[in-house]
Amino acid sequence: MIRALLLLLALATPVWAVELDEMLADPAQEARARDLSKGLRCLVCRNENIDDSHATIARDLRLFLRERIAAGDTDEQAIAAIVARYGEYVLLNPTTGGANILLWLAGPLLLLLGGGIAVATLRRRAVAAEVTGLSEEEQARLRELTGD
């Protein structure tokens, strides 16, 4: 655990994040850039987004992203431009394309499957309990009614 953390930190410290001189003049655009930055990975860091990273490559990515936004790209276009240049690896939020759909649906599917099994089992048990329970009572009632 420690060693892995170390690696994370050694590659990432000091965590200076976005610098002032990089910021866009338009606050709305800058806000968009910062939002998008949080979903983009610093390529040489461990699991760190470019907004938090001080690595040179993270700065390059931040600047490139801001270039695209200043040029009038939509969020999607800017992300697409970055993926085209740096590859899918840069996305901290994996796409739903291809096999990734399995990743996204794994949780809900498992919940449905597990929930289905659980409900079926519980219902069967409850019914079994009810059937045996009732049959005794009913037998007594039957005897009572038939005057045995």
Interface contacts to other proteins, rule CB under 8 A: 1-10, 13-20, 38-39, 41, 46-49, 52, 87-94, 98-100, 103-104, 106-107, 110-111, 114-115, 118-119, 122-123, 125-126, 128-129
Whats the size of the chain, residue-wise? 148
Considering beta carbons, is residue 71 or 113 the nearer one to other proteins?
Answer: 113
Number of H helices, E strands in the chain: 5, 0
Measured CA to CA in angstroms, residue 2 lies from 13, 85, 109 at distances of 16, 34, 34
Instruction: Please state the closest distance from residue 144 (CB atom) to other proteins, in A.
Output: 25
Q: Least CB distance from residue 146 to other proteins, whole Å?
A: 29
Closest contact distance (angstroms) between CB of 52 and other proteins is 6
The contacts of residue 54 (CB under 8 Å, 6+ apart) are 12, 13, 14, 15, 16, 17
